[in-house]
Structure 1
Amino acid sequence: MNHGTHGTPLAPARSGVPEHGRVPKYYLVKAQVEELLDALGPGGRLPTEAALAERYGVARATLRQALRDLLLEGRLRRQGRGTVVAGAKIEQPLSLASYTEGVTRQGLRPGRTLIALDRQSAEPALAERLAVAPGEMLWHLERVLRADEERVGLESTYLPVARVPDLDREFDPAGSLYAHLHARGLRLAGAEERIETVLATPREALLIGTPPALPMLLLHRRSRDDAGRPLELVRTLYRGDRFSFTLDLAAPTTV
């Protein structure tokens, strides 16, 4: 979807109507439900499927397809046995800012739940990416990401133990890893990132609390210190229905 300034979504061309003019019935219902969502506002509870199907004069299967699209787009979210209108997506900047900074900037309370913090021997592929010898000890830190207590992602980080030997004793897993590194004189000077869309594994979906069919945004990052040495490898899954990424682009200095 195209976006205007300040992250405001632009409507799809011709409101999604194909060139031949024939619109699937579920899509018409979806547009009607979207009007209801705007009226209810974030947190508003949606009527039951039976009530909505009767309201719009469609079969339950048609209604479910419309609701499924709205769930995948992040307009709706499950709450208990019901469905409520979701708030705006969390905008995470593509920068060296930490998750804490990105979420706090939007007035949300960041949080993390520790899944694992252990040592493991560097396999050849990991060793190459971190510029360490195969077999060197690495920290593996895995945490569920939260925003206002809602589970929104899963982060897995690898760092050389030699660079941060006190991680298991002095680091608060609920806090910012970047703040911990900065306090110990380890500053991030740059990073390479790659983003792709994936489906979560059954384990990941269980930890994040989402259906396995929900699309995820997968971010791979390798960060470097101010001497150009790799410092961390991060694999982060973000819920596709709750996150969008932003990037400020500058014009090139030469044409």
Structure 2
Amino acid sequence: MKARSPRLHPPADGPVRDGIPEHGRIPRYYAVKVDLLDVISELGQGAVLPTERELSERFEVSRATVRQAVGELVLEGRLSRRQGSGTYVAGPKLVQPLALVSYTEGLRRQGIQPGRNLISLERREAGPSLASELEIDPEDDVIHIERVLLADDERVGLESTYLTAARFPTLMDVFDPTQSLYACLRERLGVVFDGAEERVETVLATPREALLIGTNPALPMLLMHRTSWGTDGVPFERVRSLFRGDRLSFETRLGRVE
């Protein structure tokens, strides 16, 4: 493998130029990181990345510098580490639309097979906070569905859904937890989704969440909160979805503001 120094004199544009601080000095790890993007492109999805020693010799930098560059690419989802196996070139991120479509519909549009592992399906008392959002009494019951979300059998998220039990008295009898909840609500119970409010933020997973999703607790996660309502304007669903930031992104289409 021919050794070469990282690009410390970048072209006028591109990823290196974008990362140059105002003082003009490029951190060496960042230059290595950009060169690693070329290596990733050459290797292709699923290929094994050369070892730290090989990369440090190739770019004539320390292994600590290579480790920092590789670590950032892992956090960004360009690379994935497999314990005891090595570091691999990751596939493209999944795209989930910010729209009134289910997780199932969003993945199938990309040719990806969705799946779910059920953690909990239960009736429970709403409590003050959830009751306020669903406009019910704190003592009223909600149906709680918690599931690990899969994409082609890979764990990518954890979803907790709360629905007003009084509005859906037969849901637990007709719902198959391995299938789309929204399809069940529409096709079996005649529910019409008229609107929703959604908020997305970045968080770190709790130890329990990280264990269920099978991810590093230090990996940034995307947390989505959604409240949905029907044609009567009354909210009936509260969803908390936690997604791996290295494997999923959100997409929406914006229209012109008059």
Equivalent positions of 1:58-207 (< 5 A) are 58-80=61-83, 81-183=85-187, 184-207=189-212
Q: CA deviation at 1:11?
A: 4.6
Q: CA RMSD in A?
A: 1.5
Structure 1 residues 11 and 191, CA gap change in structure 2 (3 angstroms): farther
Q: Match for 2:72: what amino acid?
A: D
Is 1:228 matched up with 2:240? no
C-alpha distance in structure 2 between counterparts of 1:189 and 1:219, whole Å: 19
C-alpha distance in structure 2 between counterparts of 1:85 and 1:12, whole Å: 19
C-alpha distance in structure 1 between counterparts of 2:242 and 2:136, whole Å: 25
Q: CA deviation at 1:124?
A: 1.1
Q: Match for 2:227: what amino acid?
A: R
C-alpha distance in structure 2 between counterparts of 1:11 and 1:251, whole Å: 29
Q: Match for 2:59: what amino acid?
A: Y
Greater shift, 211-220 or 16-25, is seen at 16-25
Task: Name the residue aligned to 1:3.
Answer: none
Q: CA deviation at 1:49?
A: 2.1
Greater Rg over alpha carbons, structure: 2
- CA contact 2:120–2:147 (8 Å) conserved in 1: yes
Name the SS of the counterpart of 1:157 in structure 2. Answer: strand
Structure 1 residues 42 and 55, CA gap change in structure 2 (3 angstroms): same
C-alpha distance in structure 1 between counterparts of 2:147 and 2:38, whole Å: 37
Structure 1 residues 233 and 11, CA gap change in structure 2 (3 angstroms): farther
Equivalent positions of 1:9-88 (< 5 A) are 11-12=14-15, 14-80=17-83, 81-88=85-92
C-alpha distance in structure 1 between counterparts of 2:74 and 2:160, whole Å: 26
Q: Match for 2:100: what amino acid?
A: L
Which digits, 9 at most, give the CA deviation of each residue in 1:21-66, with x for residues without a partner? 2111111111121110000111111122222222222222111110
Task: Name the residue aligned to 2:9.
Answer: none
Q: Match for 2:238: what amino acid?
A: L
Name the TM-score, length of structure 1 as normaliser: 0.91
C-alpha distance in structure 2 between counterparts of 1:13 and 1:128, whole Å: 48
C-alpha distance in structure 2 between counterparts of 1:205 and 1:11, whole Å: 34
Q: CA deviation at 1:219?
A: 0.5
Which digits, 9 at most, give the CA deviation of each residue in 1:198-224, with x for residues without a partner? 111111111111111111111000000
Pick from 217, 229, 240: which aligns with 2:245? 240
Q: CA deviation at 1:19?
A: 2.2
Greater shift, 121-130 or 160-169, is seen at 160-169
Deviation >6 Å, runs of 4+: none
Q: CA deviation at 1:168?
A: 2.6
C-alpha distance in structure 2 between counterparts of 1:219 and 1:127, whole Å: 19
Aligned residues: 244
Name the SS of the counterpart of 1:126 in structure 2. Answer: helix
C-alpha distance in structure 2 between counterparts of 1:47 and 1:171, whole Å: 47
Which digits, 9 at most, give the CA deviation of each residue in 1:59-82, with x for residues without a partner? 221111101100111101123521
C-alpha distance in structure 1 between counterparts of 2:17 and 2:31, whole Å: 13
C-alpha distance in structure 2 between counterparts of 1:61 and 1:252, whole Å: 49
